[in-house]
Structure 1
């Protein structure tokens, strides 16, 4: 196992340990002052007015749909080419997912693919920064805004990516973020909702804590706390101060994380450039990616198919993953497949795989991966 190259590893160290120790010593480990600080610093980093920490990106998406006014029976246009949580969140509020195809190069929805999926009942669009590649939010909003359709950015993978020189999420009315260990910035589990609408932020913060009129932290701080009331059905979507303390340290590391990943990506891209039948993910014209995932597409000219390349990497003790799933192929959502299909989504799902990408991936280990990419058949022998 010592020679195994994992597909990802979080970058955590002594600073995170010290931050956790401080929280433990304080005696307050639930949602409290460190969550509030993490929210302020994250909002500033992504140039949003407000941030609300949650248990995951999924719960942030759930709250985003609620505060944006999406209700039972509304239609929400989303990519099938995304982790199933994107689709599940739509169902949590009783809305109807409508799948849009994606650009075959970036893997993201576009203004055109969204326009093709709109219905008279469409009330929202969820646009995903897939694998860290920034979605062209301006293009999508040019279609949605004139129709009064809210665009929610699923920026789960997007921390550190840019769109036209600004941080991903800066141009969104509302966005949801993930701090899962597969993302650059991790709190173990955790998420964030960001928005420029004060009323949406206030309601999201209210809903994440059971709809209580007085937060647990406020009650703890008062010797004689006021009686709390509950004016709507809420949820337990709270982040802990333990998680937030790690997040604060990780946020400070983010520029270095992105720079390192972009250097690793450049080495992969240079190597793949000379291999017939392989196409590597790259920056789109409208922004830069953080390379949360580095994927390649396997074409017919390559000596083997995607499954064969995965096998060759495994033989070399290198862990890789099949590309992004297609939600419309899963049992709960097959009946929602549009009659014309989703050809770009299906091609990318069938032909892409994710290569090892993490902060401390050495050049020597990356060269092991590159050797297999250049000679997958010889590698299996």
Structure 2
């Protein structure tokens, strides 16, 4: 039986040619193509500055550092997110404080953040979960007057929109992922975007061991200038090989989003009328890129989530369990980060699944997925 994967990156001959050019140039580490990718990504996302990194987690780490978050501070985060969102504050010695999410979007809200604020809150990390844009303006209206930095974890967000603009365009800091599960991929890789030139300059130094002279400037000089290491830095660099792929991928983004939304519309049309299944959709303030098409399995559906996953697997469909709740992971068990019940996060983690959705998904393959979701209804109807 052929397998229908939950995700496949869209890579082609253009990426092969771009990589070949980099290899033939002899400059494969961070260099001119990284700089070009940064410029083009910033323009595409309507950001003032972009700093390429080794992955989204390192971008989040740098965002917290340049924002001034320190040991002993508190950073409000959704539990309903990949664990990296909570891990990044711990890297700077801060405490992630878990809050619940909106049941429809899976994103945090201003009300949820307000309830968790203390005099030690220094930053908030909001997430465009599965590509669904977070409602950022009310959150900034709450946090900005208090001097609390809002960092947008836009790992899943490239191609999503918020009030007619790319997600992240209004954020003081935003972190992006180019993991193969995302719409744009460089294998691994990330990006930090910001409106603050000082933050961007410092992040560029920090990703390169905090050297006073960049590696590309040193490489361009016959007699390399002496460098200083201005503070403790990191090796969070992206390579020109990755950036070359990223440049091609960025050019594909409009078509990727168009196709993903087309597939999502077909899923929604087929599943919206099924009692017990609730598919994710666009919020009123923006549009999703459908990085993940997730469905909540309710008590009125004939099977629970785990049984449904088994039935999908038997049909050759590789669906996935929904997004984790970080506060339930052993790494955070008993942590002071968890201050109270998070019923929505726990319900969504326990009852959602992610369906196959990728650019190359064929209609016949999507029909197989839909039929597997409809077949339990036939079983139930006939006892």
Length-normalised TM-score, structure 1: 0.98
Q: Describe how 1:1-381 pairs up with structure 2 within 5 A.
A: 3-335=2-334, 336=336, 338-376=338-376
**Cα-to-partner distance string for 1:143-180 (whole Å, 9 max, x where unaligned):** 11121100000000000000000000000000000000
Relative to 1, partners in 2 of residues 1:87 and 1:369: Cα closer, same or farther, differing over 3 Å?
same
Q: Secondary structure at the match of 2:86?
A: helix
**8 Å CA contact 2:327, 2:338 repeated in 1:** no
Relative to 1, partners in 2 of residues 1:354 and 1:374: Cα closer, same or farther, differing over 3 Å?
same
Q: Secondary structure at the match of 1:126?
A: strand
**Cα-to-partner distance string for 1:199-231 (whole Å, 9 max, x where unaligned):** 000000000000111111111110001111101
Q: Which runs of 4+ in 1 moved over 4 A?
A: 377-380
How far does residue 379 in structure 1 lie from its aligned partner after superposition? Answer: 8.3
Question: Unpaired runs of 5+ in structure 2?
Answer: none
Length-normalised TM-score, structure 2: 0.97
Q: Secondary structure at the match of 2:205?
A: helix
Matches of 1:256 and 1:302, distance apart in 2: 35
How far does residue 332 in structure 1 lie from its aligned partner after superposition? Answer: 2.0
**8 Å CA contact 1:315, 1:379 repeated in 2:** no
CA RMSD in angstroms comes to 1.3
How far does residue 378 in structure 1 lie from its aligned partner after superposition? Answer: 6.3
**8 Å CA contact 1:76, 1:96 repeated in 2:** yes
Matches of 2:131 and 2:149, distance apart in 1: 22
**8 Å CA contact 2:80, 2:106 repeated in 1:** yes
- When structure 1 is superposed on structure 2, of 186-195 and 371-380 the one drifting more is 371-380
Matches of 1:104 and 1:149, distance apart in 2: 25
Matches of 2:65 and 2:59, distance apart in 1: 10
Matches of 1:70 and 1:24, distance apart in 2: 39
**Cα-to-partner distance string for 1:312-332 (whole Å, 9 max, x where unaligned):** 000001101000000000122
How far does residue 256 in structure 1 lie from its aligned partner after superposition? Answer: 0.3
How far does residue 75 in structure 1 lie from its aligned partner after superposition? Answer: 0.3
Matches of 1:39 and 1:271, distance apart in 2: 40
How far does residue 259 in structure 1 lie from its aligned partner after superposition? Answer: 0.3
Q: Secondary structure at the match of 1:297?
A: strand
How far does residue 36 in structure 1 lie from its aligned partner after superposition? Answer: 0.0
**8 Å CA contact 1:31, 1:238 repeated in 2:** yes
How far does residue 236 in structure 1 lie from its aligned partner after superposition? Answer: 0.2
How far does residue 337 in structure 1 lie from its aligned partner after superposition? Answer: 5.8
Q: Secondary structure at the match of 1:40?
A: helix
Matches of 1:166 and 1:25, distance apart in 2: 38
> Matched residue pairs, number?
380
**8 Å CA contact 1:50, 1:201 repeated in 2:** yes
**8 Å CA contact 1:133, 1:291 repeated in 2:** yes
